Chain A
Amino acid sequence: MTRTEFLLEMEEILGLNPGTLKGQEKLEDLENWDSTALVSLIAMAESRSNTEITLDQVVSCSTVADLLRLVPLEGQPN
């Protein structure tokens, strides 16, 4: 999964137009960032990256960039 794909799928979860997220946004500022979005994001990230992501890891993230660091992305150092 690439960074762009991750952002696109996160936008889909949040009901945002494609291209809205740049990566530096604070999660608390995102309008639809709630428990349902969080659960959906974990399910998405786990299924697309084959990596187990705990709720604790996601809860400790404060920006979209933090979330991106949880997932092994193609073309990105981990």
Chain B
Amino acid sequence: MKWELPKELKHPIDVATVLRKRRSLKRELLEQPSLVATRIAILGGSTTAEVKSMLEIFLLAHGIQPTFYESEYNRYSEDVIFENPELWEFKPEIVYLHTTWHNVSQFPELLEGDAEVEQRLREEVGRFEAIWEKIQSKLGALVIQNNFDLPSLRPLGNLEGSAVYGRIHFLMRLNAEFANFARTHSRFLIHDIQYLSAQVGLNAWFEPMYWYSFHTALSPTATVALAQSLAAMVKSVYGKSKKCLVLDLDNTLWGGVIGDDGVQGLVLGRDNPMGEAFQSFQRYAKQLQRRGVLLAVCSKNEPETAPLGFTHPDSILKLEDFSAFKANWNPKPDNIREIAFELNIGLDSFVFVDDNPAERALVAAQLPEVAVPEVGSDVTRYADVLEQERYFEVDKIVREDLSRGSYYSANVQRNVNQGKFKDYGEFLTSLEMTAEIAPFSPVYLERIAQLINKTNQFNLTTRRYTGAEVEAMAKDPQCLTLYGRLTDKFGDNGLVSVLIGRVARETLEIDVWLMSCRVLKREMELAMFDTLIEQCRARGVRKIIGVYIPTKKNGMVSGLYGELGFMTMDESTAGQQMWQYEVPQDYQAKSSHIHRTSSAESVASGRT
């Protein structure tokens, strides 16, 4: 039987039910296959037992199994500054600082001037910065820091928000300073509880009796909301956010039926309230698409008719915004499977939105990996439901994300072109590919760390490394690092491959080798291997050890080392296959369709 997310954890979440069932939910969630382990230290400025309990549930729901360290009550600062040995031995991958406005150590006095308030602000920010910097430099962990919620009581009334000595004004300035730190430091994320508390509502966010009884800074409702939000951030760090939004057309992206009503008959635009609501939903989808979420259409319609809807003058979305387009009369689960194949991403990366409950039920039943939110049939609620589920949480946006849609659109064009050639080699030649393959460069470290932590399929070892570890390997003379960028006549595919080898005397062991699936079957792996051999020969390396660690998702590379001419080693086990390769004196390059270069200029000035 296929594993499915318990319905209690889908929107709308009933807080009382989740609290009551948390033990049975945990048992059920632990049964799912392929959980990713992580270590999270929760350093609290208030009691964190409930936060930990709920966070565990929501992380498990995302396939992440946490082990926790929990600081004593309000010891978030001391644990770090005085290097609590328990925390250091725990070796957290993530440190979550669960502080709230109650933990601000000083607020301005009434009628204090700019200079005094500025001094307080610097001291308060400095106190937190000392914690963050120590975590990053000594523990090497990713930091997730709450910004500040706002107190519900306002002794100064509206002046709290505008007077320089107002508490709310002070908290807003602190939040701006925290955000500034996040902008200027990698591996530091702000968990925006200012927004979250506003979403929950300040009166529901904080329960004085819980504070006075247990020093719990959040109500049960707020605890569940916070855990869900925080888990989404962690999910994003582990590359488990959804990648593709699959949309129905009729009564989902516009009102009416394109096949019956024609373009002019569609309800779309500012002429009526529902038309405006459909337009707003399109705008939301467009915003997701612009930041890197792939859009696809899956609609029961005539293939010639459906695209016409996007010619409507008030349509925000245009045909070119979609990376895949399925308008036909086939069952929707079949179409979604085809979209997954075309885009080369797993079904667990999809969210399906359809106003028709029967279609939603069919997809949910046949494709349990696909997220199918209960959006109802009211377009005014669609975006809100998607937001509540936090499917597309993102921890950072890099340049590659912005043009991701175009990679896939170009891929569709590449696939169309493929049919015109007599053989695959001729097709590859026609792509006029150039690869920039070179040792890690500081400008690419973020993207490299992102790929290391997100790539599952073409990944020989699925070893994950933090940004700091990647940076250290880039500087380590015992490491041989390579990144690969690929450009072709249809566009720039971006940085798509990473290889890290560890050199000991005349042997190099490949620790990480991965490639984005968007460039599968383009011989990019051969180009990477060719450069690896060149680098090995330059360093006097005579033998290469390749490791393949099988996972549920990386079966596609199980035979890679064999295909490259490696010989299997006796040390191989079921959990780890070892291969070896003697570097030949007369090596012949294996990639014949990619022009290789090690300079950025060659690619930048290449054919785009």
> Given A35-B216, A36-B53, A47-B16, A55–B22 Cβ distance below 8 Å?
no
What is the CA–CA distance of A36 and B17 in the complex, to the nearest angstrom?
A: 14
Q: Is the CB of A39 within 8 A of B209?
A: no
Q: Are B16 and A39 in contact (CB under 8 A)?
A: no
Residue numbers in A under 8 Å from B21 (CB-CB): 12
**Interface pair A39/B23, CB less than 8 Å apart:** no
A43 touches B49 (CB 8 A): no
One digit per residue, 1 when the CB lies within 8 angstroms of any chain B CB and 0 when it does not, for chain A 23-38 equals 0000000000011100
Q: How many residues of A contact B (CB 8 A)?
A: 19
A44 within 8 A of B: yes
Tell me whether A43 and B20 are in contact (CB under 8 A). Answer: yes
Assembly CA distance A9 to B49 (angstroms): 21
**Residue B214 at the A interface, CB < 8 A?**
yes
Residue pair A15, B50 in contact (C-beta under 8 Å):
no
Contact residues in A for B49 (Cβ distance below 8 Å)? 34-36
**Does B24 sit within 8 A of A, measured CB to CB?**
yes
8 Å CB contact of B209 from A13, A34, A36, A54: A54
Mask: chain B, 205-222; 1 = CB below 8 Å from A; 0 = not: 001011001101000100
Kindly identify which residue among B19, B24, B209 contacts A40, using a CB–CB cutoff of 8 Å.
B19
Contacts A36-B53, A47-B16 given; does A55 touch B220 at CB 8 Å: no
Q: Is there an interface contact between A44 and B23, defined as CB atoms closer than 8 Å? A: no
Cβ contact within 8 Å between B19 and A13: yes
Does B19 lie within 8 Å of A56, measured CB to CB?
no
Q: Are B220 and A35 in contact (CB under 8 A)?
A: no
Contact flags (1/0) for B31-60 with A, using CB distance below 8 Å? 000000000000000010110010000000
Cα-based distance from A75 to B537 in the complex (angstroms):
86
B221, chain A: closest CB distance, angstroms? 8
Within 8 Å CB of A12, what residues of B?
Answer: 20-21, 23-24
Taking a contact as CB atoms under 8 Å apart, the answer to whether A35 and B19 are in contact is: no
* A44-B21 Cα distance, complex, nearest whole Å: 10
Interchain CB contact under 8 A, B47 and A9: no
Chain A min CB distance to B23 (Å): 4
CB neighbours (8 Å) of A42 from chain B are 220
> Do A55 and B23 touch across chains, with their CB atoms under 8 A apart?
no
Report the tally of A-B residue pairs with Cβ distances under 8 A: 50
Given contacts A35-B214, A36-B53, A55-B210, is CB(A43)–CB(B23) below 8 Å?
no
Q: Which chain A residues lie closer than 8 Å to B24 at the CB level?
A: 12
Q: Is B15 close to A, CB under 8 A?
A: yes
| Contact of A13 (CB < 8 Å), options: B14, B20, B213, B214 | B20
Distance, CA A29 to CA B280, complexed state (A): 56
Interface SS of chain A: helix
- Establish whether residues B19 and A39, one from each chain, have CB atoms under 8 Å apart when the complex forms: yes
Q: Contact at A59–B19, with CB atoms within 8 Å? A: no
Q: Say whether B14 contacts A47, CB under 8 Å.
A: yes
How many angstroms from the CA of A12 to the CA of B19 in the assembled complex?
A: 10
Nearest A residue to B214 by beta-carbon distance? Answer: A35
Q: A44–B213 contact, CB under 8 A?
A: no
User: For the complex, is A46 an interface residue (Cβ under 8 Å from B)?
Assistant: yes
Asked whether B50 lies within 8 Å of A36 as measured between CB atoms, the reply is yes
A43 nearest in chain B by CB position: B16
Nearest-neighbor residue (CB-CB) of B23 within chain A: A15
Q: A34-B49, A35-B216, A39-B50 are in contact. Are A44 and B209 (CB under 8 A)?
A: no
Nearest chain B residue, comparing its CB with the CB of A39: B220
Are A44's CB and B20's CB within 8 A?
yes
B54 nearest in chain A by CB position: A36
Contact A44 B210 (CB under 8 A): no
Pick from B53, B209, B214, B220: contact of A56, CB under 8 Å = B209
Residues of chain B in range 486-523 having any CB-CB distance to chain A below 8 Å: none
Task: List A contacts of B19 (CB < 8 A).
Answer: 13, 39-40, 43-44
Q: Which residues of A contact B53 (CB under 8 A)?
A: 36
CB nearest to B26 among chain A residues: A15
**Which 8 pairs from chain A and chain B are nearest by CB?**
A40-B19, A47-B16, A43-B16, A15-B23, A55-B209, A44-B20, A35-B214, A43-B19
Name 11 extra pairs, CB < 8 A, besides A34-B49, A35-B49, A39-B50. A9-B20, A35-B47, A35-B213, A39-B19, A39-B216, A40-B16, A40-B19, A43-B20, A46-B16, A55-B213, A59-B213
Interface residues of B (CB under 8 A from A): 14-17, 19-24, 47, 49-50, 53, 207, 209-210, 213-214, 216, 220
User: Can you list 8 contacts pairing A with B, beta carbon distance less than 8 Å?
Assistant: A15-B23, A35-B47, A35-B213, A35-B214, A40-B22, A46-B16, A55-B213, A59-B213
